[in-house]
Amino acid sequence: MIISANVALTGSYDYSEVARSVFIAIAASYAALDLAGRVTAARGRIRLAWLGGGATAMGIGIWAMHFKGMLAFHLPVPVEYHWPTVLASLLMAILASAVALYVASRQKLGLVDALIGSITMGAGIAGLHYLCMAAMRLPASTSYSPLLVACSILLAILFSLIALLMAFGLREETRWSIPRRLGSATVMGLAVSAMHYTGMAAAHFIPTSPPDLSHAVSISPLANNGIAIVTLIVLVAASVTSSVDRRASGEVRQLNLDLERRVAERTLQLEAVNQALRREIAEREQAEEALRRSEDRLRLVIDTIPQQIWSSPPDGSLDFFNAQWLSFKGFTQEEMQGQGWQRTLHPDDRERVVRAWRESVAKGTPYEQEERHQGANGQYRWFLARGVPLRDSQGQIIRWYGTNTDIEDRKEAEGRLRLVIDTLPAMVWSKLPDGSADFLNQRFLEYTGLSLKEGLDWGWMFNAFHPEDRAEEEWRAAFAAGEPFEKEARLRRADGAYRWFLFRGVPQRDELGHVVKWYGTSTDIEDRRRAEEALLEAQDKLAHVTRTQAMGELAATIAHEVNQPLTAIVTNANFSLRQLKSSNPNLDELRAAITEIVNDGTRASAVISRIRGLLVTGSSRRTELEINEIIQDVITLLRNELTRNRVQLRTELAANLPRVQGDPVQLQQVLINLILNAIEAMRLSTEQPRKLVISSANNSDGVLVQVQDYGPGIEPERAKLIFEPFFTTKTEGIGMGLSISRSIIESHGGRLWNVPLSHGALFQFTLPSDRISD
């Protein structure tokens, strides 16, 4: 109840109207809270529409509540309203609502924002209230209690702040948002009403003259209700719209959520799939990397292996060459392809190599050729080119793969070897197992002047050997024996001269031990042989001189030994003769002299016996021996003597001869003596050939040995004397040889004799065998 001065008009409230105004306030509050959520949820133009629409609805609600409240205040005077001012208050209410919605719908609500918003809103509401008051046209002046005005303004601001905070807090849709919103709306509505009625309480109406009623209208109860109904419709419409929107937005959100969930699930699946895919991709990349590396390695191997590698399609047009090949030749892959590879071939090899390659390609047979290729430096080098076809399961050639191996060094070595073989001062040859030549080096051909064809097969013998040396049987036997051999033969030089050569052959065998080839050399030993012959001759001469000298010394000894007694004999005899001539001979001396003569004669005979005995029995050493061995030894000793005197020796030695006891040296002496006698006998003979036959045979006594020459023979009258000491037919002899020989043989229990022949001389001796002597 507003009590003023007694002059003041007393107003009264229509409480149903008040209740309606409070309801409108609550509805407006609810709408405001609801709309704040919508504004917040909306974006862009829709947000602006919601803001505008919401502000209008809310402003109308607030204004309607105020206006209703005013209308509920009944004064005892008619009250009219100045409608432009009322309209202005409505606009102010809408503006204040817009501010409130704007602030409440912001993303964040800072304290400052809240304060500014609440002051603005509070000011707007207060302004609305007091504008409505100002619109009153009544015959009274209005005064205001400043305290209550301030109080109402503060309340407006305070309630605005609360409303903002509540609206901000409730704008999100939650399960409890509608009841909470209802609660909050009730609080807010009551607050707004409280503020309004506080403001109403601040006003005092003093009756005055009637007011200016221009532009004033009177609010009929119908209008009053109309306002309330319109306002409520607006509010309900706003709320419904908001609710629909909210639900729609809720469904949308639900849909969105489902969608998002599904999207999330799908994303997760996709993520997983992606992960797998990425892993797979990584693995593949790794594998590819590995493959690439492996390929790189292979390529590196192919390109760095010290071997030229190529390959070709089945048609033989080479299309791949490794780096070694290309870098050696200094061409690119493209330049070498097709027939390009032939350009580096040595002109001398080109035809052969190309033909061979074509043949291999045509027949599908492995290719192998030695060929020269020109390097980038212009030098030709030898290569061993090998190619093999790669075939598919049907046997069709898919590709050819090949290598070129540098064999320059080997070729060079071969060349050197060939040079060595052709220039070394020996003839080199190879022969088949039967001895027919299949290779003769240049030396051999140059020396003999034969062509290779003439020297092959057995031409090396028949076309080159000295006729006397063409002992085919012997040579064939040597090859047939399959053992390394050394043989000597004279080879005819191109100019016709003959020189002695030493043929050395070594067999090459297969794993079964069969001779597959002979390799050998023929070395010129002419000079060596000459030197040897000269040496042997010199040795012979020396031996001869020595023998002669020995004989001379022997002769001197014998002469001295024999001449001493002879001298004494002759001297004593002369003395005796002198005495006998004398008229008065000294008979004693004469007797003594003659006695000495007799003694010395006896002594001379003894000297000769002694010498013979000395020669025969000197250091005799008996052993059991094979006479054939003695004969062979002697032949060996005298071979050179025989050769030098061109004596052809034939031996006829019987096998299985009994062994004999003897002094090998003495028996050798006897044989040497007999053979040398034979050689000397034939030396003066012009008759050719000079033949000497030595034979051994079984004999009833033991063994019989014969030495037969074809010299001039022995005259019958001399035959009796030849065994006598000091009988000789030779200028150099002392006539002891046969005498001593006979003594030796006789000391062995055998006999030595001469068999008279019409032609030549034959000496025979026997030696008793052990069997006989036992």
Please, which residue, 564 or 706, has the CB nearer to other proteins?
564
How far apart CA 612 and CA 554 sit, in angstroms, is: 11
Neighbours of 235 (CB within 10 A): 25
In the region spanning residues 417 to 446, those forming contacts with other proteins, defined by CB under 8 A, are none
Binding mask 695-724 for other proteins (x = CB under 8 A): ------------------------------
The radius of gyration of the chain from alpha carbons, rounded to an integer in Å, stands at: 80
Which of 311, 436, 564, 643 is the binder for other proteins (CB under 8 A)?
564
State how far the alpha carbon of 395 is from the alpha carbons of 359, 366, 389, 398, 399, in Å.
Answer: 18, 14, 10, 9, 11
Q: How many CB atoms lie within 10 A of CB 77?
A: 16
Neighbours of 129 (CB within 10 A): 30
Q: How far is the CB of 576 from other proteins (least distance, A)?
A: 9
287 near other proteins (CB under 8 A): no
**Of residues 572 and 741, the one with the C-beta less far from other proteins:** 572
User: Smallest distance, Å, CB 724 to other proteins?
Assistant: 20
Residues 65-94 that bind other proteins (CB under 8 A): none
- Widest pairwise Cα distance in the chain: 255
Residue selected from 600, 630, 679, 710 as contacting other proteins according to rule CB under 8 A: 600
Q: Of residues 256, 275, 574, 605, which one binds other proteins by CB under 8 A?
A: 574
Q: Which is nearer to other proteins, 135 or 569 (CB)?
A: 569
Least distance (Å) between residue 563 CB and other proteins: 3
Interface stretch with other proteins, choices 292-300, 371-379, 588-596, 641-649 (CB under 8 A): 588-596
Structure tokens at 321: 């060459």
Determine, following the binding rule CB under 8 A, whether residue 116 of this chain makes contact with other proteins. Answer: no
Please, what's the b/e burial string for 275-291 (b: 16 or more CB within 10 A of its CB; e: otherwise)?
A: eeeeeeeeeeeeeeeee
Smallest distance, Å, CB 615 to other proteins?
17
* Helix, strand, or coil (residue 369): strand
Out of 73, 575, 723, 765, point to the residue binding other proteins (CB under 8 A): 575
- The residue (of 254 and 567) whose beta carbon lies closer to other proteins is 567
- DSSP state string for 20-74: HHHHHHHHHHHHHHHHHHHHHH--HHHHHHHHHHHHHHHHHHHHHHHHHHHHHEE
User: Among residues 252 and 559, whose Cβ is nearest to other proteins?
Assistant: 559
Q: Does 732 bind other proteins (CB under 8 A)?
A: no
- The interaxial angle of helices 221-304 and 15-41, nearest 10 deg, is 10
135 binds other proteins (CB under 8 A): no
Among 592, 608, 693, 697, binds other proteins (CB under 8 A): 592
Q: Are 696 and 657 in contact (CB under 8 A)?
A: yes
Among 358, 578, 591, 720, binds other proteins (CB under 8 A): 578
Query: In a 10 Å sphere around its CB, with 0-12 CB exposed, 13-18 middle and 19+ buried, how is residue 517 labelled?
Result: middle
CB of 541 to other proteins, least distance (A): 20
- Is residue 559 close enough to count as binding other proteins by CB under 8 A? yes
Selected binder of other proteins within 560, 591, 639, 759 (CB under 8 A): 560
Residues touching other proteins, count (CB under 8 A) = 28
- Nearer to other proteins among residue 96 and residue 569 (C-beta): 569
Instruction: Give whichever of 116 and 570 is closer to other proteins, judged by the CB atom.
Output: 570
Interaction of residue 632 with other proteins, rule CB under 8 A: no
What is each CA distance from 276 to 271, 280, 701, in whole angstroms?
A: 8, 6, 120
Name the residue among 678, 694, 700, 692 with its Cα closest to residue 631.
694
Q: Are 162 and 188 in contact (CB under 8 A)?
A: yes
Distance, in Å, from the CA atom of 50 to the CA atom of 44, rounded to the nearest integer, reads 10
Q: Is the Cβ–Cβ distance between 751 and 680 less than 8 Å?
A: no
- Using alpha carbons, select from 366, 411, 385, 369 the residue that is nearest to residue 328: 385
CA–CA separation, 502 and 196 (whole Å): 155
Q: Is residue 563 involved in binding other proteins (CB under 8 A)?
A: yes
Instruction: List, as one string, the DSSP characters of 86-109.
Output: HHHHHHHHHHHHHHHHHHHTSS--
Q: How far is the CB of 548 from other proteins (least distance, A)?
A: 13
Q: Of the candidates 302, 562, 697, 719, which one interacts with other proteins according to CB under 8 A?
A: 562
Query: Shortest approach of other proteins to residue 728 CB, angstroms?
Result: 16
217 CB-contact burial (10 Å; exposed 0-12 / middle 13-18 / buried 19+): middle
Where does this chain touch other proteins (CB under 8 A) — which range of 243-251, 398-406, 455-463, 596-604? 596-604
Nearer to other proteins, 588 or 624 (CB): 588
Question: Given the complex with other proteins, which of 243 and 599 has the nearer CB atom?
Answer: 599
- Closest Cα to residue 202, out of 138, 155, 139? 155
- Contact 172/37 with Cβ under 8 angstroms? yes
Of the candidate residues 579, 628, 685, 747, the single one contacting other proteins (CB under 8 A): 579
Site string for other proteins, 516-555 (x = CB under 8 A): ---------------------------------------x
Single out the segment in contact with other proteins by CB under 8 A; choices: 161-169, 322-330, 561-569, 688-696. Answer: 561-569
219 vs 592 by CB, closer to other proteins: 592
Specify the residue for token string 């003066």: 684
- 158 in contact with other proteins (CB under 8 A): no
236 touches other proteins (CB under 8 A): no
- Binding region for other proteins (CB under 8 A) out of 27-35, 192-200, 385-393, 595-603: 595-603
589 lies in the binding site for other proteins (CB under 8 A):
yes
Nearer to other proteins, 426 or 551 (CB): 551
Give yes or no for a contact between 188 and 163, defined as CB atoms under 8 angstroms apart.
yes
Give the Cα separation of 380 and 375 in Å (integer).
Answer: 6
Tell which one of 208, 267, 274, 567 touches other proteins (CB under 8 A).
Answer: 567
> Among candidates 30, 137, 29, 165, which has minimal Cα distance to 79?
137
- To other proteins, the closest distance from the beta carbon of 593 in angstroms equals 6
| Smaller CB separation from other proteins, 203 or 590 | 590
**CA–CA dist 748, 744 (Å, integer):** 6
Question: Within 602-631, which residues bind other proteins (CB under 8 A)?
Answer: 603
Q: Which CA distances in Å does 453 have to 436, 439, 457, 460?
A: 12, 10, 8, 10
Rounded to a whole number of angstroms, the minimum distance from the CB of residue 619 to other proteins is: 24
- 307: its two tokens: 């071997």
Q: Are 53 and 234 in contact (CB under 8 A)?
A: no
* Residue 734 in the binding site for other proteins (CB under 8 A): no
Q: How far is the CB of 612 from other proteins (least distance, A)?
A: 18
From 88, 407, 566, 653, residue interacting with other proteins (rule: CB under 8 A)? 566
Binding site for other proteins (CB under 8 A): 555-556, 559-572, 574-575, 578-579, 586, 589, 592-593, 596, 599-600, 603
